[in-house]
Chains A and B, each alone.
Chain A
Amino acid sequence: EVQLVESGGGLVQPGGSLRLSCAVSGFTFNTYWMTWVRQAPGKGLEWVANINEDGSENYYADSVKGRFTISRDNAKNSLYLQMNSLRAEDTSVYYCARFRGGLWGQGTLVIVSS
Chain B
Amino acid sequence: QPVVTQEPSFSVSPGGTVTLTCGLISDSVSTNHYTSWYQQTPGQAPRTLIYDTNIRSSGVPARFSGSILGNKAALTITGAQADDESDYHCVLRMGGGIWVFGGGTRLTVL
Contacts and interface: CB of A to CB of B under 8 A. Distances in A.
Interface of A: 35, 37, 44-47, 50, 57-59, 61-62, 95, 99-107
A94 to B, nearest CB: 11
B48 interface: yes
Contacts of B34: 99
Nearest to B46: A104
Nearest to B98: A59
A102 B52 CA distance: 10
Contact of B97 (A45, A59, A105): A59
Interface string B43-55: 0011111011000
- Of B36, B38, B45, B48, chain A has the most CB atoms within 10 Å of the CB of B45
Contact of B89 (A35, A45, A62, A107): A45
Contact of A47 (B47, B87, B98): B98
A50 B48 contact: no
Indicate the size class of the contact surface on chain B. Answer: 20 to 34
Contacts of A37: 46, 101
22 contacts: A37-B46, A44-B102, A44-B103, A44-B104, A45-B40, A45-B46, A45-B89, A46-B101, A47-B101, A50-B97, A59-B96, A61-B98, A62-B1, A99-B51, A100-B52, A102-B38, A102-B49, A102-B57, A104-B47, A104-B48, A105-B45, A107-B45
Contacts of B101: 37, 44-47
A62 B34 CA distance: 21
A60 B36 CA distance: 19
B46 A47 contact: no
A45 B96 contact: no
B99 interface: yes
B99 A106 contact: no
B100 interface: yes
B50 to A, nearest CB: 8
Contacts of B48: 101-104
